[in-house]
Amino acid sequence: MAHPRSLLPPSRPPPPVPPTDQGSTSSTRRNTFNDGDNMSSDSDPEAHGPASMNGLESVIVRPTGGRDIIPSASRLDRHRDQDALVARHLVWDGIANKQLPPEETDMMIRLLEKKADKRIVQTWIEGQPTAEFHEAAITLKVGLTFMPGADKPQVNRLEQQDMTGRKPDQKDSYWRVHTAGLLLSTYEVLQDLAVVQKDQTSRIAEKARTRVLRKSRDGSGPPMSSMKSLTVRGRDYEAVNIDSNEVYIVNDLRDRRSEWDIESTLIEVDGSSLVGLIVNYRSLIHRGGPDMSFDDTRKLLDTMIEDARRLCVRSPILFRMSTRTSIIHSKNTRYGVNNGSYFQTITTSKGISETISLSAAYYNSLEPGNSSDSTTAQNFIKPRFLQMIVLLLSLLNDDDLAEIAEFLESTYGLKANRQHLELLFMKVMPLMSINSKVFLKAMVPAYEGYPLNEPIQENMHVHYWNTFIRRILGQGYLLPGTVGDLGSNELSWIVKWPEDGFRSSSVFNSLQYAGPKSRTFNEIPPVDLHPEASLKEVTVEMTNGDTYTIDSSDLERITCMNAGIFNTRQARLNGRLYDLEIEEVVLNDSMNEAISMLNAIIRRINWWLTSTKNGKGAVGALARKLSKTARKEKSVELVLAEEQLGPGRLTKNSALLNQDMLATAYKLEGRKITKKDTIRIMGTHNRKIKAMVRHFERGMDDFEYKVDSTERKKIRNDLEKVRNKIEHSENMRHRIDEDEDFSDEPIVKVIYPGANGPTDPTNWQDYQARITNDYLHVDAKQFTVIGANWISAEMIEVTLSQHPAKFLVAPLQPVDEASRADEVQVGDIAILAGHYIIIAVPGEGASSWGYIMTNYLRINSMDAGATQTRRGQNRRAQREVTSTAIFV
């Protein structure tokens, strides 16, 4: 049986492999092509370079050209988060270096051949790829779900694809094999930020043997002899084969879960933001607690919230409602970046759950002290820390969540069942969809665990929504609404489904829970990832340590390092106006020109190979083999070749303020990548093109067809031009390596108005709510409004009959002056429910026996008044009587 050639090993040496007999199907040749034509050339030092470095071998110092920006010697040191920047680079490089793919000139040439996606089989021993194919190792069956999330249009297309049920892109053989091979290992970031690789081959191989054994017994699978481990120098090693034909990318892994030996859901995110969030979180829980000052803690939490905002902007896949069910039901969930040739894991659901479990000591230290200053500080820190916990919890699948469920309930006071947490995610996180149908279709199964009946008719949306609100109310959840949301003739207490429906979970921002362990749920405010939307200008702190005001519409473009010129003004009286210029330089122009010229050569050679001139037709030419005695020692046989594609648009984006360098970012097709990844990508493609040039030059030496000598000379000249272009590309790569390192963003943090203020009221008014025959019954204290005074555009002082306190309340959304009277009026019924006052009016006509709900007002504080004393307060609390308000 003929087997596909395997890939070459990576830089790190694999475990010892057994010697190969001459009759073995394994291949031990390296850097070879076809029948042993050695691709290494004495005249080409590039061929002898360590391909394992993936473009990061030692570079020669070369003069740099173009625009010179000379930062001050202390520029990088003045970055206020320099330690965090170094930590991010350490973690990122540690993860990336352990997942580098093997690289081989021979493989590059073989993939050049014009044919369908070529099958690849590779043997992996204890989590490491090997150079040889070993038939004795068991072949895994791998299932993958890949969820690209680099930009909003891409995520929108993914949601549309899910709506139509189209088969997902299968990538190429190399991507599937190397990505599947990396699933054999997990990667853990230790407290000192070292990255440890843990092998899982033994467990996975055992699962595969069980599957094959089951099939062999019923006659549908291979015999047991094909499942033995490899013995090397008297020691057994676990080995598996990964066949590109046995790696499947599917929309839903659950449909064939029993078939997979290993499965994984791969979710593409912005690596820089996610690494920053995790590194800062670990820094907080390891360094935090009573020994960490309030200012240091506040600074770190603000940075984490900024990382969360960036993660939302650059990783929209995480904040799509349709992503929720994929994460919930996934196994081996991995978050990372798509490097084009493989998926690079940054962290896993399992790794995140272990990180969360380390936070107990820090969270317990947040209990308020005796001083008012301590209480104020903890009231600021605690909600923000809980926001980050929620964000991390949203990345856990069901299996990993179950392992820390008891910890979450005992430490954080959160009900750790999936339904409760999904409602918490809807409240705290901005989950979006492309339209209301997709939102509804994704929201219900995320909470219920099962999908809506298909097809979902548009005229049923209101019914589904009303049913959902009823069901969550039965679990203790009350959804407040505004004057525009409430007051319908029927079900006046339900926030109505708009004509265009809901596309965002922001409708749940005020969701309130009144069941057991309710305190923590209600303490966590929504993460406002776009607070600038309501502002004309925002204040930002740049990496040079100064603060500036910028137009709010420019914030996202500057954060993403999009090219342009942006107005910035110093955030002080009579501050100077500066231009923040973000320049974009394309790094691989020469490479792309070389590829374009090479493709023209490929088209010309393909035309020669298929030409019928002089009776040398395609059928006859491709069927004959050249005589080995007629060939020169280092010649090759040319075959039909595929035109080549470049890596995409590689750019360097630099942010300058008054000629002061603030940040440098490298991008691939608009997506941020690291500087080292840029060097690797350019090095890989440069070597690939060089190898192809050598291949064509050697093939021309012994070309069988009668080709005009003028054309032969022209093609050689064109190959030399390609080589020159690649030399230019190599020079650019060396210059990149010599560039000074900066932050990849000019903005350290955004300073929003009121960001340091209280995040949630603490005055809780007991109540109970239940549904009977579609009527909402609320057992709570009821009063009549006898005073409503607007003391600001966002604050109302409400006085209630027979209640000594004055309530300072706020509408759920901004209200223009002309509409203030609609919010609350003298004579309205006021029901105290949790953190809200429910405003109601008597029903009309046949419903005059009940109430119509018209509004919710959020209680910010209570002024007990000068006559109210603490003496007798316990007796007064017992005398306060609750009554039942029934809403139609």
Please state the rounded mean pLDDT for residues 264-288.
81
Reply yes or no on whether the pLDDT at 73 is more than 60.
Answer: no
Reply yes or no on whether the pLDDT at 93 is more than 60.
Answer: yes
Q: What is the pLDDT of residue 359?
A: 80
Judge if 594 and 725 occupy the same domain.
Answer: yes
Q: What is the pLDDT of residue 616?
A: 46
Tokens representing 510 are 């005020």
723 CB-near residues (< 8 Å, 6+ apart): 690, 693
Tens digits of residue pLDDT in 571-618: 888 889 999 999 999 999 999 999 999 998 888 888 777 765 544 444
Judge if 702 and 790 occupy the same domain.
Answer: no
Tens digits of residue pLDDT in 833-861: 999 999 999 998 888 899 999 999 999 88
Judge if 791 and 869 occupy the same domain.
Answer: yes
Q: What is the pLDDT of residue 279?
A: 80
Tokens representing 726 are 């690649």
In order, the DSSP letters of 32-69 are: EETTTEE---TT-GGGGS-GGGTT-SPPPP----S---
Averaged confidence pLDDT in the chain: 78
* C-alpha–C-alpha distance, residues 387 and 356, integer Å: 13
Please state the rounded mean pLDDT for residues 397-413.
92
Q: Confidence class of residue 528 from pLDDT cuts 50, 70 and 90?
A: confident
For residue 753, is it within any domain? Answer: no
Tens digits of residue pLDDT in 48-64: 333 333 333 323 233 33
Reply yes or no on whether the pLDDT at 624 is more than 80.
Answer: no
Last residue of a domain, one of 543, 577, 611: 577
* The most confident of 97-111, 376-390, 435-449, by mean pLDDT: 435-449
Task: Centre a 10 Å sphere on the Cβ of residue 469 and count the other Cβ atoms it contains.
Answer: 18
Per the rule left: phi > 0, alpha: psi between -120 and 50, beta: everything else, 352 is alpha
* The most confident of 284-298, 362-376, 778-792, 807-821, by mean pLDDT: 778-792
For residue 255, is it within any domain? Answer: no
Query: CB–CB of 546/566 below 8 Å?
Result: no
Task: Report how many domains make up the chain.
Answer: 3
Judge if 815 and 699 occupy the same domain.
Answer: no
Tokens representing 384 are 């923000």
Last residue of a domain, one of 546, 577, 608: 577
Reply yes or no on whether the pLDDT at 400 is more than 60.
Answer: yes
C-alpha distances out from residue 582 to 76, 651, 654, 671, Å: 18, 12, 5, 15
484 vs 41, higher pLDDT: 484
Q: What is the pLDDT of residue 334?
A: 94
Reply yes or no on whether the pLDDT at 239 is more than 50.
Answer: yes
Q: What is the pLDDT of residue 702?
A: 59
For residue 832, is it within any domain? Answer: yes
* C-alpha–C-alpha distance, residues 91 and 278, integer Å: 10
Judge if 547 and 602 occupy the same domain.
Answer: no
Q: What is the pLDDT of residue 167?
A: 83
* C-alpha–C-alpha distance, residues 139 and 135, integer Å: 9
Judge if 802 and 844 occupy the same domain.
Answer: yes
For residue 316, is it within any domain? Answer: no
Please state the rounded mean pLDDT for residues 522-540.
77
Tens digits of residue pLDDT in 16-28: 433 333 333 333 3
Reply yes or no on whether the pLDDT at 542 is more than 70.
Answer: yes
Judge if 729 and 596 occupy the same domain.
Answer: yes
Judge if 708 and 816 occupy the same domain.
Answer: no
236 vs 333, higher pLDDT: 333
Q: Confidence class of residue 160 from pLDDT cuts 50, 70 and 90?
A: low
Reply yes or no on whether the pLDDT at 227 is more than 70.
Answer: no
| Domain enclosing residue 665, as ranges | 586-738
Q: pTM value? A: 0.73
Reply yes or no on whether the pLDDT at 718 is more than 60.
Answer: yes
172 vs 85, higher pLDDT: 172
Of the candidates 675, 651, 655, the residue with the CA atom closest to the CA atom of residue 747: 655
For residue 455, is it within any domain? Answer: no
Judge if 794 and 828 occupy the same domain.
Answer: yes
Q: What is the pLDDT of residue 151?
A: 63
Judge if 636 and 711 occupy the same domain.
Answer: yes
Judge if 774 and 721 occupy the same domain.
Answer: no
For residue 472, is it within any domain? Answer: no
Last residue of a domain, one of 513, 548, 577: 577
Tens digits of residue pLDDT in 122-157: 999 888 898 888 888 899 999 999 998 766 666 777
What's the angle, vertex CA 808, arms to CA 805 and CA 810, rounded to 5? Answer: 150
Q: Which DSSP state fits 851?
A: E
For residue 854, is it within any domain? Answer: yes
Query: CB–CB of 263/331 below 8 Å?
Result: yes
For residue 836, is it within any domain? Answer: yes
Judge if 555 and 618 occupy the same domain.
Answer: no
